[in-house]
Amino acid sequence: MTIEGTGSEEIGDAPGHPPRPWSRRTWVICLVVAFLLAGGAYFALNRPGRAQPATGRPGTGAGARAVPVLTATAKTGDLGVYLTALGSVTSLNTVTVRSRVDGQLMRVLFREGQIVRAGDLLAEIDPRPFEAQLNQAEGQLARDQAALANTRLDLERYKRLVSGGFIAQQQLDTQASAVIQAEGNVKADQGQIESIKLQLVYCKILAPFAGRAGLRLVDAGNMIKATDPGGLVVLTQIEPIAVVAAIPQDNLPPVLARMRSGGAITVDAYDREGRTKLASGTLVALDNQIDSGTGTVKIKASFANTDGALFPNQFVNVRILVDTLRDAVLVPVEAVQRGVQGPFVYVVRPDKTVELRKVALGPTEGGLAPVRDGLKPGEAVIVDGADKVQERSRVEPTSRDRPPAKSGA
């Protein structure tokens, strides 16, 4: 049964009829109530003073888990201070071997790229024309020597005739002049013979010093002259050898100080990548002026080069030892961190907590950094894992100085 009113809207549902659907107003009210309940729950869980889980950096809380890090021990040692520069290998002696006489090149007795010794026979020029000239000059000498002997005999006869009054003094003087002229002819012949013998010596071209022969410039059978500009071969000395480099003028004072002290300055030559050491030598010369265009000064170092590691005109990286830091506190360069306050390291205390320590550094070398102030020998510094810790963090250190444990049998 239904109760009818003035409108057609039903006030209730008759028993046995299905319930009416919710209206839009009812849904809006339910949603507002749900939002209010969710907001209240969030405020209750995040109100001030409520305990929160540790969400900071690992190892910063009192009960936080220790952070595993790798450490190294600061040690005391000597560290060299080096200057670096780009240099070029230069032969101490380079010569273009040329012929000193004209003739046909008969033989070439060296191999291209061969290491030759001083005095080795490199090539030979046809000596037969000079041998013929020598025979001719020796014949001329014999004839002039015979003429000289005859004029000397005549001079002795004239002396006796003059003493007896048979000839005039003028004839004696003329004969004496003839003797002097004959002696001059003999000396000229002897000089001609020595010149031809020297040319015969020049027919054999010898190495002026020990070195490496380059590529052959003339083949056997060609006619060559002493005035040919090309020459036969270029010979370069490689033992010892030199390296010329340029250093900035600001680095000149420490080099001069070492040179004045009288000690040898060690110079090392590395490959172009600066990884492989090629040779070690000593500084032998310093240029007498600074290049105003580049602001650098040239230096020259000598290397024994017995193994042939250095080659003429080769580019190398040069390292000059200008000072040695004695008994310096050394740490690996990866242990040094840098911030707005300057360089610092993380020191691991005996209680396995971290201390941030500001340090004063010297010039780094060979993966080591000398600490002038702020660190003592024997203290452990973090070399790996520093990005995971901060002041007073708890850590679990592993020293890389400790040898790895051997596995059991």
Q: What is the mean pLDDT of residues 275-304?
A: 93
The pLDDT, as a whole number, for residue 61 is 52
Q: Span 97-235: which CATH code?
A: 2.40.50.100
Residues 284 and 230: beta-carbon distance below 8 Å = no
Which helix (DSSP H) or strand (DSSP E) does residue 30 occupy?
helix 24-45
Residue 347: left (phi > 0), alpha (psi -120 to 50), or beta? Answer: beta
- CATH 2.40.50.100 positions along the chain are 97-235
Q: What is the 3-state secondary structure (H, E, C) of 124-142?
A: EECCHHHHHHHHHHHHHHH
Secondary structure class of 353 (helix, strand, coil): strand
pLDDT digits (tens, 9 = 90+) for 161-205: 888 888 888 988 999 999 999 999 999 999 999 999 999 999 999
User: What's the CATH fold of domain 82-92+236-325?
Assistant: Elongation Factor Tu (Ef-tu); domain 3 (2.40.30)
DSSP state of 180: H
CB atoms within 10 A of CB 346: 23
pLDDT digits (tens, 9 = 90+) for 311-328: 999 999 999 998 888 889
The pLDDT, as a whole number, for residue 65 is 83
The pLDDT, as a whole number, for residue 343 is 92
pLDDT digits (tens, 9 = 90+) for 26-78: 766 777 777 777 766 666 555 443 434 444 455 555 556 888 999 999 999 98
Angle between helices 169-202 and 128-164 (to 10 degrees): 170
**In the structure encoding, which two tokens stand for residue 206, read together?**
């010898």
Tell me: pLDDT of 151 over 90. Answer: yes
Q: What is the mean pLDDT of residues 267-280?
A: 91
Which CATH architecture does the domain made up of 67-77+328-399 adopt? Beta Barrel (2.40)
The pLDDT, as a whole number, for residue 275 is 86
The pLDDT, as a whole number, for residue 5 is 41
- CATH 2.40.30.170 positions along the chain are 82-92+236-325
The pLDDT, as a whole number, for residue 278 is 94
The pLDDT, as a whole number, for residue 60 is 54
Of 12 and 85, the structure prediction assigns the larger pLDDT to 85
386 class by beta-carbon count within 10 Å (0-12 exposed, 13-18 middle, 19+ buried): buried
Task: Find where tokens 């490959």 sit.
Answer: 271
Confidence grade of residue 406 (pLDDT, cut at 50, 70, 90): very low
Secondary structure class of 232 (helix, strand, coil): coil
- CATH 2.40.420.20 positions along the chain are 67-77+328-399
